[in-house]
Structure 1
Amino acid sequence: MSHTPHHQFPEDFLRPDDRSPTEGIDESFVFSYDTYADELGEGRRWSRWEDLEALMKGPEPRPDWVVTSSGAIDTDLGILKTGKEANVFLLEREDPHVSGSDVVMAAKRYRDTDHRTFHRAAAYTEGRSMKRSRDERALKRKSTWGKQVAAGEWAISEWNALRRCWELGLPVPYPVQIDGTEILMEWITVDVDGVIETAPRVAQVRPEREVVEGYYEQLRDALATLVQAGLVHGDLSPYNTLAAGDRLVVIDLPQVVDLVGNPRGMDFLLRDCANMCAWFRSRGLEVDEHDLFGELMAHAF
């Protein structure tokens, strides 16, 4: 009968815990590392700006405050607003190697289960056309952006509307980037006794008459610019316009419709006029939605 030989090992080899894993190794070959995820911690992430395609970034020329560094870090600061289809968070982006580069933005995140089934979706999407040839090209190339466009997400609809409105010179937040169902955009603020706060909704303020009159002129100009471009906000009200000091800012744009292509385009425009004029009347301004609607129609045709 044969026996397997019994090998003798050094005693210290049988007790590896007693030895350093780098013992006997030249120190020049030894290094340690931490993973980036561990380094950043919860609620922080590396900016994905460099990974995004051109159509997923805001239009040029970009404001000076936009941070485009590949080494920038995004930090969640907490929730700002909750909604039926999306929540809005505050997010800080900063390049740790550039002093004073930090900027706080609004991050609108559509819920994964809801962003494809926006309420009243059929009424808004009817007659919607692909106005951007670049979107059509992206679809054909099957690029990352093209795949998002093909998915028909409401985040995409709002992103396209924000870009279009910004390029038209309308008072909307600057769209920084879109990544999946998250849109980063300008955080609209007001200075309250030296403290920076989120600009309130128009429905929440009672400004002086002079400011109210200024808001109405801004509203007329914004709506006129929209209809000249063949567009209607579709859900405009004092609850999705912001009072940024003397400036009126329009937000919440995923349902923007084609004025002529959508069978209800005119109805949506009249409703927008009615919603806003009701607020202006409540603040002492004698305005009529039908007069405003007629004035806008003169711009449209």
Structure 2
Amino acid sequence: MRYSTDPADYEDYEDFTEREPRRARRRRFDDEPRPIRSGRLTEEAKALLENSKDDGPAEEDERYSSYPDAVPGPGPLPGWVLTEAAATDTELGVLKTGKEADVHLIRRALPGNERTSLLAAKRYRPPEHRQFHRDAGYLEGRRMRKSRELRAVQNRTAFGRNLIAEQWTIAEFAALSRLWQLGAPVPYPVQRHGTELLLEYLGDESGAAPRLAELRPDPGELDRLWAQLIEALTLLAEAGLTHGDLSPYNVLVHEGRPMLIDLPQVVELVVNPNGPAILERDVTNLARWFTARGRHVDIEQTTARLRAAAGMD
């Protein structure tokens, strides 16, 4: 995996943040817009969820599981994953909207059986509605099998934008699969089907787990969260990786445990010439959030510790 070697590509981390009214403008740690939906289910979605437990999904909301036709997640499969072709998927509502993708809540159930699971379906948006603002550096150096595909991507035709979306989907699925097998705190990637990822749902029936940025933890909880994040970042560094786009907006806190999300741009620290700078940026984005809430973090010391874990010193 290669990225841009131009340091200017990494200087303005917040250039793509949507502009908010001046009185409401605050520093953001992420280059994504404030989500239109942030994880709470609508009353309609809650009703669908409750009714589907007792009566099964309504016919108009139901489709057969796509698992048999999809690329499956890594093994060993968690026991809650339903692989049967007879299973059905029911749409329950939108969890989050973003510039490149929307996340929907899905209930997968096996008719005549009590086994069910909730899944998060991450779907990249149609070409005319997508803004792949990070794809220039992300796609640099990636080889296309056909010159026609390369030209389409370079010219950003509808076909090319679809190829970009598929590459992001493939990359995120591969990154999640690798990290999950390493034991990193990431949602289990159930399957990839076209430009849709089905992931382990992190949350409960009232809505998705909150982002780290949404929390107001007390000092003790701040210490615990930081210790768990450092453990996760160390695990990645020992594998020669860093998240590449880490921020309090790309960390969910599920059952007291921080979980890393949005991972199509995982960086190989030694291979990528900008690896050290990207690692420091990941640390800085988290450290500033913790420091602002009273838990001081030494950015230089923490980065050095992770560099050492990656064998870079």
TM-score bracket relative to the smaller structure: 0.7 to 0.9
1:107 partner amino acid: A
Secondary structure at the counterpart of residue 96 of structure 1: coil
Indicate the residue corresponding to 1:185 in structure 2.
199
Q: Does 1:294 align with 2:298?
A: no
Deviates more, 1:120-129 or 1:278-287: 120-129
Give the unaligned 5+ runs of structure 1.
1-38, 130-147
What whole-Å deviation, never above 9, does each CA across 1:250-272 have from its counterpart, x for those lacking one? Answer: 10001112212222221111111
Distance 1:76 1:50, change over 3 A: same
Conserved 8 A contact 2:124-2:165: no
Secondary structure, aligned partner of 1:153: helix
CA distance in 2, matches of 1:114, 1:179: 21
Q: Which moved more, 1:266-275 or 1:110-119?
A: 110-119
Deviation digits for residues 177-199 of structure 1 (CA, Å, limit 9, x no counterpart): 01000000111115xxxx64311
* 2:236 equivalent to 1:222: no
Q: Residue in 2 aligned with 1:198?
A: 208
Structure 2 CA distance, aligned partners of 1:151 and 1:90?
20
Q: Give the SS at the match of 2:91.
A: strand
- Residue of structure 2 aligned with 1:119, choices 133, 148, 151: 133
The reply on whether 1:79 has 2:91 as its aligned counterpart is: no
Structure 2 CA distance for partners of 1:114 and 1:172, relative to 1, 3 Å: farther
**Residue 105 of structure 2 corresponds to residue 90 of structure 1:** yes
1:98-247 alignment, distance < 5 Å: 98-99=113-114, 101-113=115-127, 118-126=132-140, 153-189=167-203, 196-247=206-257
Identical aligned residues as a percent: 48
Distance 1:151 1:111, change over 3 A: closer
Give the counterpart of 2:83 among 68, 79, 82: 68
Distance 1:121 1:262, change over 3 A: farther
Q: Which residue of 1 aligns with 2:40?
A: none
Of stretches 172-181 and 220-229 in structure 1, the one that deviates more from structure 2 is: 220-229
Residue 180 of structure 2: SS of its match in structure 1? helix
* Matching residue's letter, 2:279: L
- Would you say the 8 A contact 1:115–1:155 is kept in 2? no
Aligned match for 2:261, one of 247, 251, 259: 251
**Aligned pairs, number:** 237
Cα RMSD (Å) of the superposition?
2.5
Give the AA of the match of 1:257: V
Q: Which consecutive aligned stretches of 4+ in structure 1 deviate over 4 angstroms post-superposition? A: 114-117, 125-129, 148-152
Offset from partner CA, 1:93-143 (integer Å, 9 cap, x none): 0001212x12111000012427997322232344679xxxxxxxxxxxxxx
- SS of the residue aligned with 1:276? helix
* Larger Rg belongs to: 1
Change (3 A) 1:185 1:152: closer
The counterpart of 1:57, out of the listed 43, 62, 72, is 72
Alignment check: 8 A CA contact 2:212 2:248 kept: yes
Residue 223 of structure 1 aligns to which amino acid in structure 2?
A: L
Question: Aligned AA for 1:43?
Answer: D
Structure with the larger RCO, 1 or 2 (CA within 8 Å, 6+ apart) = 2
More helix by share: 2
Name the structure 2 match of 1:132: none
- In 2, are the aligned partners of 1:127 and 1:262 still within 8 Å (CA)? no
The verdict on how the C-alpha distance between 1:235 and 1:114 changes in structure 2, with shifts beyond 3 A counting, is: farther
- AA aligned to 2:268 is D
